[in-house]
């Protein structure tokens, strides 16, 4: 529920900010002139349109989600690559998910290849930054043990207000 309230607070502040910007532009146009209001609008657009450097969960020079690789796929049977989706946490409006890719190795054992974590749903005002993902085989070939560490950044109008550490540990069952 707190995620929903935080998102609604962010939306309300953003709408208020847009209204203030329109009033400020009108005031500048009336007091100083049209040229000054155009410069003000372009200045605001340059801040709003600035590229977001929050590529913390993206592969370099790519739009792909950052992936932790555990093993080269070349050493495995590529025809039998499978995947698992695990819900790490479900909030009222979003989910934190773990994606594990695995295959069968030379000893006919399920072996993790890679893993990534992301957020789905309505995520206004929060950012999930996975810091590390570890996936280990267990003695039972039908299970993986996973550990995911990361940070949730709580933001208001793009400024980080609070940083909350998150740690997830569990067993993933292979179907």
Distance between CA atoms of residues 134 and 5, nearest Å: 32
Domain assignments of the chain as residue spans, ordered by start: 2-48, 68-173
- 125 Cβ partners below 8 Å, 6+ apart? 3, 6, 7, 9, 10, 154, 155, 156
pTM: 0.72
Distance between CA atoms of residues 150 and 137, nearest Å: 22
* pLDDT tens figures, 35-86: 888 888 887 777 665 555 555 555 554 456 777 777 765 655 556 788 899 9
* pLDDT tens figures, 96-120: 999 998 887 777 788 888 899 999 9
Residue 86: φ, ψ to 5° = -120, 130
Under a CB-based contact definition with an 8 Å cutoff, are residues 92 and 121 in contact?
Answer: no
């Amino acid at each position: 529920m707190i995620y929903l309230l935080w998102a609604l607070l962010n939306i309300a502040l953003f709408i208020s900010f847009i209204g203030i910007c329109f009033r400020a532009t009108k005031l500048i146009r009336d007091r100083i002139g049209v040229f000054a209001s155009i410069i003000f609008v372009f200045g605001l657009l340059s801040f709003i349109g600035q590229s977001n450097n929050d590529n913390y969960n993206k592969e370099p020079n790519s739009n792909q989600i950052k992936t932790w690789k555990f093993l080269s796929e070349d050493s495995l049977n590529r025809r039998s690559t499978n995947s698992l989706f695990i819900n790490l946490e479900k909030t009222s409006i979003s989910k934190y998910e773990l994606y594990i890719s695995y295959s069968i190795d030379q000893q006919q054992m399920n072996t993790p290849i890679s893993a990534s974590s992301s957020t789905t749903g309505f995520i206004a005002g929060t950012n999930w930054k996975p810091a590390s993902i570890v996936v280990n085989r267990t003695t039972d070939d039908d299970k993986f043990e996973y550990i995911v560490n990361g940070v949730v950044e709580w933001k208001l109008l793009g400024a980080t207000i609070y940083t909350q550490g998150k740690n997830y540990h569990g067993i993933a069952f292979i179907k």
